[in-house]
Each structure stands twice: as structure tokens, then as C-alpha cells.
């Protein structure tokens, strides 16, 4: 146990960086994912095509490849980052956005088609139908899968540890290397800090779900 | 058999055709509805009457022919279509009230967001409409808290709030319990008396007799008869219509 207590400052620093990576990537992914879902149901064929291709590629390739691309290929193409965090955020948010797009799309499909027809029949345009009628109702069914995706994002952020970003898992690995006799304790400590992030997300999910439940 | 009405037709369909795959669901439809006219469309299920009604505000696309509203040809997409739809009120079989909005918001949303009416004005107009259809006291509730008949009356108020030139009713009472049908029909009869142009797809023959100026009988995607209610019910010309009416009367 001593190793955990002695290393608390390091754990804490790693925890904060994981929190930062997850929060920033999460927000970007939510925005990007919603836009992709909107493109996927839009009347413009080019937008639908782009969204489909994006989602299929990012969803069906390993996260590590997204990281390689952001951290190594992009700089070679001339995109320079001051910090590797930026690359990590690009990789995490573009990857997660694909899953969010699919979740939002399934939510959109769960809203009865009559809602959109009624909205169109009073003269609303595509954007208004989506923003005022469909998305607010879709959100209610989408919250549980969205939280699942965000929990996965928190855990996926550990991949950043392998790409020069010292976050929680990165520090955990350093500590394990430095304390070869207490690897299990160190890893349990690491796991505990991840739980500190993910368990409240799960609780948030069930609270929000209860609050926004809607009668039909 | 269609009577072509010359002059100031508000809704005009010319040689409209539509297929669902192999099924020819609208066959060369010609129909003119004048301002203030109440046209009731009846016919057996699958005859294309709902499709006809939905095509008039382009919830269903058509393959050829033209549909025009107040002289303007129905555009296929975009802003012009949205603007034209704002002039055409639609009432659905399944009400389709916005489930996440209150009754009042259901009625004010269109005027505020589509027409840019100020909220206070929209609220006032909406309350007047809700009072008129007899559900004013339900304004702060959500749709699911209302009975079917009440929901349908709110749906009528929602459509009226846009001050439409014509109202389309797609089987407005078919999803209702029998004891709620009359409360909705009463509102519709009142509307007809006030001079609203209406196209009503329904199985309520009582309404057709009472409020219709014309009855259009459809079968197999075609308009088979187009006559006054009296003429149609007492002296139907086609065998198809005679057959349909005899089935109604035996029960």
C-alpha cells in the first residue's frame, strides 16, 4: 500500500491528465458525432456518403491506428503539434465520434416518423425538424449508449500513454517499472483512479435517464 | 368521371401518378378543390386515398403530373416547399403531437419558429385556438396525458395556428375510441361551416353527408366518382361504389 500513498502526487497528476484528455475529446466527439449523424440522415447525398465512409473507417479500425496517424503521420505531412496531447485528442475524438454518430443515428431512428412528418407539415425546414423535434426526443433514448461510449473513451485514453502522453496509465506503467516488487499494488491503484472516473459516469447515466424519461 | 371545376381552384392535381414498386397506387389523378370547398375522399382501404392526401403536401413524392396550391406548383425540395407546407394544414390519423412539448408549445412552435411570430402573440392566439377546440384547460400538459380525442383536437389547433389556406385530414378519427369520434367531428363540422377549405379522408359517412360539398370515391388508385353527397349516397353510378356502399349499410 505504501507505494500508492507515496506515489499519490504522480497518480493525481496522471488522473488529471486522463480527465483532461477524456473531457476535451468527449466534448469534441459529441459535437462531431452529432454533426456526422445529422449528415447521415440529411437529404444531401454527398453528406450522407461522407458520413457513412467516415464512420465505417474509424469504427472498424483499431484505435492504435488512429493514434499512429495523429501522432506520427500527421507531423510528417507537416502538421506540427506543440504537445503530443493535441495528437492524442485528435485521435481519441475522431475515433469516438464515429461511435457517437452511430448511437445518435439509432436514436434518431427511434423517434416515430410521424413526428418528423408533423414538423414538416407545419413548414419547418430540415434543420428545424432535426433540432427542435427529432434530436431532443432522440437524446432521451441515446443517453445510455452515449455514456457507455464515454466510459470507453476514458479507458481508451490509456492508449495515449504509449504515444508520449503521460496520463494515468503512463504513470502507472512508470511506477510499476520502478517498483518491480509491487506491480500488483501499483496496477490496482491505477485501476482505482480509473474507477473514480467511470463509476460516476455510470451513476450519472442512470440519473439522467430517469429524469428525461418521456411518456408516449 | 371527374368533374373539372374551372376558375379559382385552390388545390389542383393534374395527371398525378405514383407507384409503390409494382403497385400503381395513384392512377392519373385529376382533382380540383375550390376555395371554401369541403371535399371528402372515401373508398376501401388500399385505394390510395391516404397517399393522395399526403401527396398534396408532398409527404409522399409523385412520379409525374403536377400538384399546385393557390396557383403555385408544389416544389420538390427546400425552402419553397417548406413555405408552401406552412400554408397547408395537416391532421394525421395518429395525431403526431410533439411528444416532448406541452400542448401550448405544440400549437405555438410553428408560428414562432416558422413564421417568426412573437411568443406573447403566439401564446395568446394558441390559447384562443385551444379554447375553440375545447382543450384550453389542458395547455400546460404533455400530449401523453390527454385522451386521443383531445390530442386530435390539439392537432387541429396546431394546424390552424399556421393560418393555412387548406386543411388536409388523413383519417382523423380512425385511431379513436368510438365515444371520442364525435368530439373531433364536431370541431371539423364547425370548421367547415366557417368556410375553411378542407380535404378529408375518412370512413365517417355521417360527416360526409353533413359537411361535404363533394364526395370523391376512390378505388384501386383511381377516382371513380366525384359527386355531391346526396347524389353519391342515393344514386351511385359505378358498380364499385354501389358495392362499397352496400357493404357499409349491411352492418
Angle at B43 between CA B165 and CA B64, to 5 degrees: 60
Q: Which own/partner contact pairs does B76-82 have at CB distance under 8 Å and 24+ positions apart?
A: B77/A43, B78/A125, B79/A125, B82/A120, B82/A123, B82/A124, B82/A125, B82/B114
Least confident of A97-106, A154-163, B6-15, B140-149: B6-15
Higher pLDDT among residues A5 and B195, named by residue? B195
- Give pLDDT, residue B5: 47
Question: Which residue in A36, A21, A153, A140 sits closest to A98, CA to CA?
Answer: A36
- Give pLDDT, residue A2: 77
Q: Which residue of A has its CA nearest to B146?
A: A216
Share of chain B above pLDDT 90, in %: 82
Distance of alpha carbon B28 from alpha carbon B16, whole angstroms: 5
Contact A114 B113 (CB under 8 A): no
| Strands of the B38-42 sheet, one edge to the other | B88-91, B166-170, B197-201, B38-42, B214-219, B222-227
- Extract the C-alpha cell encoding B57: 403536401
| Strands of the B64-69 sheet, one edge to the other | B23-34, B9-20, B64-69, B72-73
- Cβ atoms within 10 Å, residue A24: 16
Is a pLDDT exceeding 90 seen at residue B14?
Answer: yes
- Cβ atoms within 10 Å, residue B4: 11
Distance of alpha carbon A98 from alpha carbon A91, whole angstroms: 11
Over residues B102-116, the pLDDT tens digits come to: 999 999 999 999 999
In terms of average pLDDT, the best of A170-174, A210-214, B5-9, B222-226 is: B222-226
Over residues B36-58, the pLDDT tens digits come to: 999 999 999 889 999 999 999 99
Chain B CB contacts of A115 below 8 Å: 96, 98-99
Is a pLDDT exceeding 90 seen at residue B250?
Answer: no
- Give pLDDT, residue B199: 96
Average pLDDT, chain B: 91
Residue-wise burial string across A147-161, b where 16 or more C-beta atoms lie within 10 A, e elsewhere: bebbbebbebbbbbb
Q: Are B84 and A120 in contact (CB under 8 A)?
A: no
Q: Which residue of A has its CA nearest to B161?
A: A122
Share of chain B above pLDDT 70, in %: 96
Over residues A71-127, the pLDDT tens digits come to: 888 888 888 887 888 989 999 999 999 999 999 999 999 999 999 999 999 999 989
In the numeric block, the cell 412520379 is attached to B63
Over residues B213-224, the pLDDT tens digits come to: 999 999 999 999
Distance of alpha carbon A118 from alpha carbon B60, whole angstroms: 13
Residue-wise burial string across A119-137, b where 16 or more C-beta atoms lie within 10 A, e elsewhere: bbbbbbbbebbbebbbbbb
Q: Which residue of B has its CA nearest to A126?
A: B78
Least confident of A49-58, A124-133, A175-184, B99-108: A175-184
Average pLDDT over residues A144-168: 88
Distance of alpha carbon B207 from alpha carbon B204, whole angstroms: 5
Furthest CA-CA distance within chain A? 70
B98, B168, B169: which to substitute to probe chain A, counting the most A Cβ within 10 Å?
B98
Distance of alpha carbon B246 from alpha carbon B235, whole angstroms: 12
Over residues A177-190, the pLDDT tens digits come to: 888 888 888 889 89
Q: If pLDDT is split at 50, 70 and 90, which confidence band does A213 have?
A: low
Least confident of A140-149, A158-167, B97-106: A158-167
Is a pLDDT exceeding 50 seen at residue B147?
Answer: yes
Distance of alpha carbon A197 from alpha carbon A151, whole angstroms: 8
- Give pLDDT, residue A216: 52
- Give pLDDT, residue A110: 92
Q: If pLDDT is split at 50, 70 and 90, which confidence band does B1 have?
A: very low
Average pLDDT, chain A: 89
- Extract the C-alpha cell encoding B18: 405514383
Chain A CB contacts of B78 below 8 Å: 125
Least confident of B2-6, B109-113, B199-203, B207-211: B2-6
- Give pLDDT, residue A81: 81
- Give pLDDT, residue A214: 58
Higher pLDDT among residues B159 and A141, named by residue? B159
- Give pLDDT, residue B4: 47
Chain A CB contacts of B162 below 8 Å: 122-123
For residue B77, the SS3 value is coil
- Give pLDDT, residue B249: 63
Distance of alpha carbon B113 from alpha carbon B98, whole angstroms: 14
In the numeric block, the cell 342515393 is attached to B234
Chain A CB contacts of B144 below 8 Å: 214-216
Amino acid at each position: 500500500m505504501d507505494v500508492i500513498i507515496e506515489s499519490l502526487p504522480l497518480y493525481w497528476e496522471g488522473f488529471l491528465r486522463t480527465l483532461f484528455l477524456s473531457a476535451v475529446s468527449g466534448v469534441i466527439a459529441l459535437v462531431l458525432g452529432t454533426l456526422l449523424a445529422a449528415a447521415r440522415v440529411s437529404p444531401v447525398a454527398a453528406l450522407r456518403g461522407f458520413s457513412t465512409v467516415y464512420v465505417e473507417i474509424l469504427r472498424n479500425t483499431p484505435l492504435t491506428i488512429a493514434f499512429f496517424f495523429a501522432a506520427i503521420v500527421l507531423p510528417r505531412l507537416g502538421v506540427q503539434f506543440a504537445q503530443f496531447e493535441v495528437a492524442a485528442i485528435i485521435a481519441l475524438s475522431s475515433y469516438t465520434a464515429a461511435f457517437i454518430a452511430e448511437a445518435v443515428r439509432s436514436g434518431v431512428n427511434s423517434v416515430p416518423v410521424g413526428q418528423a412528418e408533423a414538423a414538416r407539415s407545419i413548414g419547418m425546414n430540415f434543420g428545424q425538424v432535426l433540432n427542435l423535434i427529432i434530436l431532443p426526443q432522440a437524446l432521451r433514448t441515446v443517453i445510455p449508449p452515449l455514456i457507455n461510449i464515454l466510459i470507453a473513451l476514458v479507458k481508451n485514453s490509456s492508449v495515449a500513454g504509449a504515444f508520449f502522453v503521460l496520463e494515468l496509465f503512463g504513470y502507472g506503467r512508470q511506477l510499476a517499472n520502478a517498483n518491480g516488487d509491487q506491480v500488483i499494488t501499483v496496477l490496482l491503484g491505477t485501476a482505482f483512479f480509473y474507477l473514480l472516473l467511470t463509476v460516476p459516469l455510470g451513476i450519472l447515466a442512470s440519473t439522467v435517464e430517469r429524469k428525461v424519461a418521456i411518456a408516449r | 368521371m371527374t368533374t373539372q371545376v374551372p376558375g379559382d381552384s385552390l388545390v389542383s392535381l393534374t395527371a398525378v401518378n405514383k407507384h409503390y414498386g409494382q403497385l400503381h397506387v395513384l392512377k392519373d389523378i385529376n382533382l380540383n378543390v375550390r376555395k371554401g370547398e369541403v371535399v371528402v375522399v372515401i373508398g376501401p382501404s388500399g385505394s390510395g386515398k391516404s397517399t393522395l392526401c399526403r401527396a398534396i403536401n408532398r409527404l409522399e413524392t409523385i412520379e409525374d403530373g403536377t400538384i399546385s396550391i393557390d396557383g403555385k406548383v408544389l416544389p420538390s425540395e427546400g425552402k419553397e416547399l417548406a413555405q408552401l407546407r406552412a400554408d397547408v394544414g395537416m391532421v394525421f390519423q395518429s395525431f403526431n403531437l410533439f411528444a416532448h412539448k406541452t400542448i401550448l408549445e405544440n400549437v405555438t412552435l410553428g408560428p414562432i419558429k416558422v413564421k417568426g411570430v412573437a411568443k406573447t402573440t403566439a401564446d395568446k392566439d394558441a390559447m384562443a385556438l385551444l379554447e375553440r377546440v375545447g382543450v384550453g384547460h389542458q395547455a400546460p400538459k404533455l400530449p401523453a396525458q390527454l385522451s386521443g380525442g383531445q390530442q386530435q383536437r390539439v392537432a387541429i389547433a396546431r394546424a390552424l395556428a399556421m393560418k393555412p389556406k387548406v386543411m388536409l385530414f388523413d383519417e382523423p378519427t380512425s385511431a379513436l375510441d368510438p365515444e371520442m369520434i364525435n368530439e373531433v367531428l364536431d370541431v371539423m363540422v364547425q370548421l367547415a361551416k366557417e368556410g375553411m377549405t378542407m380535404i378529408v379522408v375518412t370512413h365517417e359517412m355521417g360527416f360526409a353527408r353533413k359537411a361535404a360539398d363533394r364526395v370523391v370515391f376512390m378505388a384501386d388508385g383511381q377516382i371513380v366518382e366525384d359527386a355531391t353527397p346526396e347524389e353519391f349516397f342515393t344514386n351511385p353510378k359505378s358498380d364499385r361504389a354501389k358495392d362499397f356502399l352496400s357493404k357499409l349499410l349491411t352492418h
